[in-house]
Homo-oligomer: A and B are copies of this chain.
Amino acid sequence: MGLIVQKFGGTSVANVERILNVAACVKEETERGNNVVVVVSAMGKSTDQLVGLAKEISPQPNKREMDMLLSTGEQVTISLLSMAINQQGLNAVSFTGWQAGIVTEPVHGNARISKINTEAIQTQLSDGKVVIVAGFQGVTEEGEITTLGRGGSDTTAVALAAALKADKCDIYTDVTGVFTTDPRYVKSARKLLSVSYDEMLELANLGAGVLHPRAVEFAKNYQVQLEVRSSMEKIVGTVIEGEATMEQNLVVRGVAFEDEITKVTVLGLSNSLTSLSTIFTTLAQNHLNVDIIIQSTTEGGSANLSFSIHTNDLLETLKVLEDNKEVLGYEQLDAENKLAKVSIVGSGMISNPGVAAKMFEVLAANNIQIKMVSTSEIKVSAVVEEKQMLKAVEALHAAFELSK
């Protein structure tokens, strides 16, 4: 008898009909003789509705209270799904984050899981029950409700799979797997049968929305076998594991993209040696994620620094920088909105030094200006204007022959 963790996202539980569909999906898994732990997100747009209510009350709602508010979304889903499964004659029991023993660091809005006390879940599994856990949420050692930030339900599922030593973690979503690029925007996108953790990590980090990067990290660290698959269509998905079965020895395996990027520039940093670390330490302490970083030194000896962030974090980033202006010692701040990041990813890149050059060539040939560049061993990212994003993706997808 195996143990499977299933995760269903917001679209898969958007209404009563879909929740009943999920219940059927859970039942099938139990009929294959497996114990099942199910992790669910909030129903469809319910999180957006809650955020809307909060914004009506306060332009910058208290973060602790925001977690208190948003965590109700998943709690609604777990109870309804449990009713649906009970209604089918199985025994199910739902757990909020705190009931499931998901302990996080004491941070609101973007907490990391610090440990999982699995006793309560194990007891219910031993009793033959299906255990339904609210994704996206946890509790601090002090009993404060926290949320895990964007895509946190994926992280909950993988962390539970790791803690419970599950045989597999199935991520059910509204797409049938991981594609060479987003099939909603690029028709020639092709589904991959398997990708490695590292490739998926880059794809996820780069905005391929099917899976949260932290979830992939967790899966890699604890060697949890993942499968991304459709909750609507019963077809094989994409397996994510240690060593991907290479379908073809492709250099580039996918093109990822992400909009709502803002480039922040700090001009005239007087003492670049210490101020650089001070800036990013300060931003990190405020839980502001910085992506690409570029530094240049001017003739006078001072430095200019640019970095990219999610546009949502702009106001808070500027506030942190302004509050620390004296310590940081810069002259001026600048921000450029409406940017996007386009990236090519593939393990094969390591041994193919010409890949980045080819990417820049393709973008230039399409009159797409590159604002920032970042590279790692298995990916190259370019920040471009948001309005040119899809054009860039299509050109790269074609140039690297990903639809074949």
A residues sitting closer than 8 Å to B (CB atoms) are 16, 19-20, 50, 53-54, 56-58, 61-62, 64-66, 68-69, 71-72, 75-76, 78-80, 82-84, 86-87, 93-94, 96, 98-99, 120, 143, 145
Contact = CB atoms under 8 A, between A and B. Distances in A.
Contacts of A80: 53-54, 57, 65, 69
A94 B57 CA distance: 15
A37 to B, nearest CB: 16
B82 A62 contact: yes
Of A79, A99, A120, A145, chain B has the most CB atoms within 10 Å of the CB of A79
A86 B62 CA distance: 7
A366 to B, nearest CB: 46
Taken together, the copies of this chain in the complex come to 2
Given A68-B94, A76-B72, A83 B99 contact: no
A64 B54 CA distance: 29
Nearest to A43: B53
Contact of A16 (B57, B64, B75): B57
Nearest to A75: B72
Given A68-B78, A69-B80, 7 more contacts: A53-B80, A57-B80, A58-B86, A62-B86, A65-B80, A65-B86, A71-B75
B79 A65 contact: yes
A54 B79 CA distance: 9
B57 A19 contact: yes
A50 B68 contact: no
A141 to B, nearest CB: 14
Contact of A20 (B57, B72, B94): B57
Given A19-B57, A84-B57, A94 B65 contact: yes
